[in-house]
Amino acid sequence: MKNHIGKEFMKKTHYSYVTPSDQSQGLPTPSFEIEHAHKMRSYNLPKPETLDIKHELQSAIEERKSVRTYSEVKMTLKELSWLLWSTQGIRDYVQNNTITLRNVPSAGARHALETYLLINNVEGLENGLYRYVASAHKLVEYILEEDIADVIVKACLDQKFLKKNSVTFIWTAVPYRMFYRYSERSYRYLHIDAGHVCQNLYLAAEAIGAGVCAVAAFDDDQLNGALRIDGDTQFAIYIASVGKKKNDK
């Protein structure tokens, strides 16, 4: 294979290139979550202990497939709560509440991802863009402009099913959370962690009769701009469309 940027990335993230981490030098641990604007309206989600959603794991694994067309049935807040709890829910805190233990694995428990939701068809929620605040298990309004769904679809190469669903998950990475511990190697781990999260979404969705389609094709600059993040200290890394499955029987 010819030299290309992917090979260069793999080479420069070999352990031989890793520099001493900020953690090893005793620098303060970065926050595990971006602060939200308290003036914005928030919505408490059904608490995890009340969800009680059961599904056989083997069936979820065997039935999992990407789904791009959905029914018009609205997703409930309980169902959305379940998906968020399954993908980024915090089970416990350690090291003086500076580290979170969640329902997905993450390198060194760094959990460097944030979850944004493009709400399109969910009971009790106005359509628009929200942020998930994992520490409080709640949603916070972020951008409710009328055209935000179209802006995001355009940034995602005009994949229109991203607004013809219940909700589109958009995960962003905050690289310093991972870089703090793993230096140059961290950029590999960010992408691995995103895969862990999305796989949990696929399996959790099966339990509520929903389908998922993961999306990695998007214009980075456009999507970061739509999310109003700088693309450096925080950037979009992965997307997934979710909607209730059609009953074809």
Over residues 181-193, the pLDDT tens digits come to 999 999 999 999 9
Q: What CATH code is carried by the domain that includes residue 188?
A: 3.40.109.10
High-pLDDT (> 90) share of the chain, %: 90
Q: Is the pLDDT of residue 3 over 90?
A: no
Report the distance separating Cα 2 and Cα 116, nearest Å.
Answer: 37
Q: Count of CB atoms within 10 A of residue 233's CB?
A: 11
Identify whether 18 is part of a domain: no
Identify whether 25 is part of a domain: no
Calculate mean pLDDT across residues 11-40: 92
Residue 1: which pLDDT band, with cuts at 50, 70 and 90?
Answer: low
Element (H, E) at 235: strand 235-244
Identify whether 3 is part of a domain: no
Identify whether 30 is part of a domain: no
pTM, two decimal places: 0.96
Identify whether 229 is part of a domain: yes
Number of domains in the chain: 1
Identify whether 78 is part of a domain: yes
Over residues 19-32, the pLDDT tens digits come to 999 999 999 999 99
Which residue range is the domain that position 238 belongs to? Answer: 40-46+55-244
Identify whether 16 is part of a domain: no
Identify whether 193 is part of a domain: yes
What rounded mean pLDDT belongs to the chain?
A: 95
Instruction: Tell me if 226 sits within 8 A of 155, measured CB to CB.
Output: yes
